Chains A and B, each alone.
Chain A
């Protein structure tokens, strides 16, 4: 009974167990893969294809994950906390988007000081890495899944490496590799989830 005596721990475990299906990993991995492929091939439609494919995990969650996981309604306190965290993430996302658009607009009309332009030319991917890693870290904080913090660090390192290696035209390959790693990790987690949560006879009968 020692492992179930802390109610806060139980609540945390129950909440994070709702995200141990690898769907968020698949979603993030596909987005990153699309971004990397579009840089690598200079074909923007690959990014659009990957963003469209990233919607597939949502369908998988509805039709494959939930019949195995079951349904839960969290406490009002947890719902309020999640709503607040989502709002913070949304505000951060909008702020980052605004910042990127603002700097890109200034960059395109050449009114930025020379040193800022040089900095953006040299470290654009690193800046982007910081932004994407921040969003992933916020997601990790919201869903309380530790591996997302690792993804945030991986993304940050990968984008810094891409920024350093961009004169060698290797940034696309590096970002594709990062997307691939996250996608692979998500796939393994999903397969493990399916293995640990087979549909029971009762469930098969119920969902048919």
Chain B
């Protein structure tokens, strides 16, 4: 059996995983935003332990995919960024969770 044929047969049995959420840092961001209503940039950064730039770049990717919403406003004169999971993001995270469970369902303990 040719390698490409074997590979395509295997991929047919594999569950499709959302690669955007599968990345550990983004999974962490999604998981944190899933359990709360919203948080600002600083709070999320402290909880997850990413650098300012790293978090910004992951958030931009998640925002582009429509998984999170970023709201910029002012508290007094200070700029403030609140982040929350969009309905789309919430559904995607639940779906990811379901699929991952399915992947490991038949794994011996």
Contact = CB atoms under 8 A, between A and B. Distances in A.
Given A70-B42, A70-B43, A75 B36 contact: yes
A71 B46 contact: no
Interface string A64-77: 00001111111110
Main SS class of interface, B: helix
A72 B41 CA distance: 10
A168 interface: no
Interface in A1-38: 1, 4, 7-8, 10-11, 13-14, 17
A110 interface: no
B33 to A, nearest CB: 10
Contact of A70 (B24, B31, B34, B41): B41
Interface string A50-92: 0000000000000000001111111110100000000000000
Interface residues of B, number: 24
Interface residues of A, number: 25
Given A69-B46, A207-B78, A7 B31 contact: yes
Contacts of B39: 70-73
B86 interface: no
Given A206-B78, A207-B78, A71 B43 contact: yes
Interface of A: 1, 4, 7-8, 10-11, 13-14, 17, 68-76, 78, 197, 200, 202-203, 206-207
A73 B80 CA distance: 14
Q: Which of the listed residues B39, B79, B82 has the most CB atoms from chain A within 10 Å of its own CB? A: B39
> By CB atoms of chain A within 10 A, which of B41, B42, B44 has the most?
B42
Contact of A7 (B35, B46, B78): B35
A10 B31 contact: yes
